[in-house]
Structure 1
């Protein structure tokens, strides 16, 4: 993991982003998002959230071109790292996917481990996420959070946050394939070749993400 330890962490990039973002949106909207994050942390994880030992269910996902793909066919018995993200509209997700593309995907490819990112957005949103940073790994849509729901990781922005999104010129429901505001908690799962979850890291605060060294340590334990 020495190749990743000198790399800027996701959290440091998020901290840098937040400074400019809060200045850009102003104190009122920044406070709305800060309160939302506090409420999410206070509420904590759902009781039914995914945990090691759970089995990966069958799922049908959408590619960026709108065609369907079976998750089991896509994995074809390979170990995998699944990344659930909120959507291409989420700057924290974009920071994370870019970081994984540069610092995680090449290492996993060398070890024969698949890296797959999944969100509830439309295929067009998936395409936008791929093109934004020329992502080298698979990115799929999970319409209606069907797969995310089986893992107990589905939530939604608070009413205040959704109003703030509107003031900023977008709505999460417009990005999602099912036209709702439901989104997954940012989550990383490590899946063994047998389809069993060996590692699960779910973040209720969407500004926090799983760092590359943590993922690689979990992969090494497979």
Structure 2
């Protein structure tokens, strides 16, 4: 089992050494602005998972409230922190979930064809186009206009990637949903350079 926290720290260092200082400052200020705000808006354990069905990479609709399941929200395949975390969950969480009969589902606002870049993943990847599910869970945020040039420089046009004019993304979030479709665990990360530890995900599942 690798160590996700160590890998994320190494990635933070690598990104810091490659990203121009002025862009890094804009992104850091943007991250810090949202820390603390999400506690007000995010869904609480004990509430029902919204009864929505989202398309997978082939366009088939998959219900997300059918548990037991671990649902991982990520920003998009363009985000290196997301890719690192998804690979860690595949390596360190998925085998145990399969033993327990629990699904692993990843969700981002990227268009379905864009999500195909995650095709090396061995679990379901869904597209929450328009952030309908993320917004219902209270885990989305609007990017400030002044951060757009920084994002465009690093990753290209998020509007094109997500097929939406609104510049909205989900916070990286892990939810554990029980067999009745009730949220039993939610961990939201306004700082997208941090993620839920695989051991915490498994502990939440085993507590069902």
Q: TM bucket by the smaller chain?
A: over 0.9
1:194 is matched with: 180
Q: 1:151 aligns with which of 132, 137, 140?
A: 137
CA contact (8 A) 1:46 1:152 kept: no
Quote how far apart the aligned CAs of 1:212 are. Answer: 0.5
Quote how far apart the aligned CAs of 1:92 are. Answer: 0.9
1:16 is matched with: 10
1:217 is matched with: 203
Q: 1:83 aligns with which of 72, 91, 99?
A: 72
Question: Normalising to structure 1: TM-score of the pair?
Answer: 0.88
CA distance, structure 1, for counterparts of residue 41 and residue 151 of structure 2: 29
CA distance, structure 2, for counterparts of residue 13 and residue 156 of structure 1: 28
Quote how far apart the aligned CAs of 1:157 are. Answer: 2.6
1:174 is matched with: 160
Q: 1:36 aligns with which of 30, 35, 44?
A: 30
CA distance, structure 1, for counterparts of residue 146 and residue 2 of structure 2: 32
Structure 1 runs, 4 residues or longer, greater than 6 Å off: none
Quote how far apart the aligned CAs of 1:169 are. Answer: 5.0
CA distance, structure 1, for counterparts of residue 63 and residue 199 of structure 2: 29
Is the alpha carbon distance of 1:169 and 1:138 closer, same or farther for their aligned partners in structure 2, counting shifts above 3 Å? closer
CA distance, structure 1, for counterparts of residue 165 and residue 117 of structure 2: 17
Find out whether 1:49 has 2:42 as its counterpart.
yes
Is the alpha carbon distance of 1:101 and 1:54 closer, same or farther for their aligned partners in structure 2, counting shifts above 3 Å? same
CA contact (8 A) 1:118 1:142 kept: yes
Unaligned residue ranges in structure 1 (runs of 5+): 1-6
Quote how far apart the aligned CAs of 1:56 are. Answer: 1.3
RMSD: 1.6
CA contact (8 A) 2:12 2:193 kept: no
CA-to-partner distance for each residue in 1:180-216, whole Å, 9 max, x for gaps?
A: 3211111111011011111111111111110001011
CA contact (8 A) 1:172 1:180 kept: no
Quote how far apart the aligned CAs of 1:24 are. Answer: 1.2
CA distance, structure 2, for counterparts of residue 142 and residue 61 of structure 1: 6
Quote how far apart the aligned CAs of 1:19 are. Answer: 1.5
Quote how far apart the aligned CAs of 1:106 are. Answer: 0.9
Secondary structure of 2:113's counterpart equals helix
Question: Normalising to structure 2: TM-score of the pair?
Answer: 0.93
CA-to-partner distance for each residue in 1:44-72, whole Å, 9 max, x for gaps?
A: 21523111001012112111022333335
Is the alpha carbon distance of 1:169 and 1:193 closer, same or farther for their aligned partners in structure 2, counting shifts above 3 Å? closer
1:58 is matched with: 51
Secondary structure of 2:40's counterpart equals coil
Secondary structure of 1:205's counterpart equals coil
